[in-house]
Every structure is written in structure tokens, then in C-alpha cells.
Amino acid sequence: MRRVPDIMPVTDLRQDAAAALKRVRSSKQPLVITQRGRAAAVMLSIEAFEQAEHERQLLRLLARGEKEIAAGEGYDLDEVLVEADALLTRESR
């Protein structure tokens, strides 16, 4: 089930930015900032932002891979898996 986002008017944000930050950090959910009754910005915890960026990068790589496959380009799966294992092994050290 999709959750209704938290909403805060920009005037409330101006009055108590620390409370807004605390709310975002504790809920781990985005906070929609409104101005004149319309959504103007979204505030995220740094963890949520980094996770979203990581997911976007993965999606871009997958999309690029699909385009390469459709064009008859790309790499052999076994080669990719060996390279991925090597990268993961280096990162875990």
C-alpha cells in the first residue's frame, strides 16, 4: 500500500527547520514542502537520498544494457560475473 507523503508548508519550515529535519530523519520518508498550497520541493534524509541515487544508477545501467543487447552489443555474461565478483571482493576488504 502506498503511503500518503508528509507535507509541510514552507512557512512552518522557516519557523522550525530543526523539527522538519528531525521528522525526515525519524520517519525515513520524504517531506513535501508546499508553497501557496502547491508542492514546491521534497526534503529527504541523506540515507534516503543516497539509496534513491543508487537505485537510479542501477536502473540507468540496466537500461543501457538492454539497449546494447538490442543493438547486438554488450559483454558475455560469464565475463561480467567474473568482473562483478572481483569488484565485490575488493569492496568487502
1 domain-assigned: no
Contacts with 84 (C-beta within 8 Å, 6 or more apart), sequence order = none
60 domain-assigned: yes
10-residue averages of pLDDT along the chain (93 residues): 82 95 92 96 93 89 84 79 79 60
59 domain-assigned: yes
For residue range 52-72, list pLDDT tens digits in order: 998 998 888 888 888 888 888
In this structure, the answer to whether residues 38 and 63 fall within a common structural domain is no
pLDDT at 63: 87
In this structure, the answer to whether residues 61 and 87 fall within a common structural domain is yes
pTM across the whole model? 0.63
For 87, the domain range is 50-91
pLDDT at 2: 63
Look up the CATH number of the domain holding residue 18: 3.40.1620
In this structure, the answer to whether residues 24 and 56 fall within a common structural domain is no
The DSSP secondary structure of 20-59, one letter per residue, reads HHHHHHHH-S-EEEEETTEEEEEE--HHHHHHHHHHHHHH
